[in-house]
Structure 1
Amino acid sequence: MAKKPDLIAYQVKNVEGREKGIWNRIGAAWAHENGEGYNIALDALPLDGKIILIKPLEKDED
């Protein structure tokens, strides 16, 4: 089985009239073996908005 990701990649888009942005999971990141960076695998590439990398939530670790 593959190693679980260290970080989850989300595309976050702000929408006028909403307090919070819309978050869509678009990929994941794993630390390099040497600890000097990350390998990022994206399933989608946003044309607008931004990409945020955060630690997986407990519900993402299934």
Structure 2
Amino acid sequence: MARSNNYKAGSKARETKAPAFIAWHVAEKTDSKSFWTRIGAAWDHEDGKGLTLQLDLVPVSGGRIVLRTPSEATEERGA
């Protein structure tokens, strides 16, 4: 079984931190409609000088990537 390099035997598990931003792919469609698809999340660096962006899906059809602060509605629906 593979082990993470960040794990040390006998140490506590790493604390899970909620993302600072949710990454969305926005595809422009006809009639002024846009389709938003959640594609990842971003977390603040501890020193406050950057973000770590994790994309679960990379769009290939154009559009744009938007980072938004998470909302309760987003978290509730698991999007």
TM-score range normalised by the length of the shorter chain: 0.7 to 0.9
Corresponding letter in the other structure for 2:37: N
- Residue deviations 1:6-40 (CA, integer Å, cap 9, x gap): 0000000101x232210000000000111011000
Counterparts of 1:1-62 in structure 2, within 5 Å, are 2-15=16-29, 17-47=30-60, 48-62=62-76
Distance 1:58 1:20 in 2: 23
Q: What TM-score does the superposition give when structure 2 sets the normalisation length?
A: 0.70
Which structure's relative contact order is higher, taking Cα pairs within 8 Å and 6+ residues apart?
1
Kindly report the root-mean-square deviation, in angstroms, between the aligned alpha carbons of the 2 structures: 1.3
- CA shift, 1:44, in A, is 0.3
Gaps of 5+ in 2: 1-14
Residue identity over aligned pairs, in percent, reads 43
Gaps of 5+ in 1: none
Q: Give the paired residue count.
A: 61
Q: Once superposed, which parts of structure 1, at least 4 consecutive aligned residues long, lie more than 4 Å away?
A: none
Q: What TM-score does the superposition give when structure 1 sets the normalisation length?
A: 0.87
More strand by share: 1
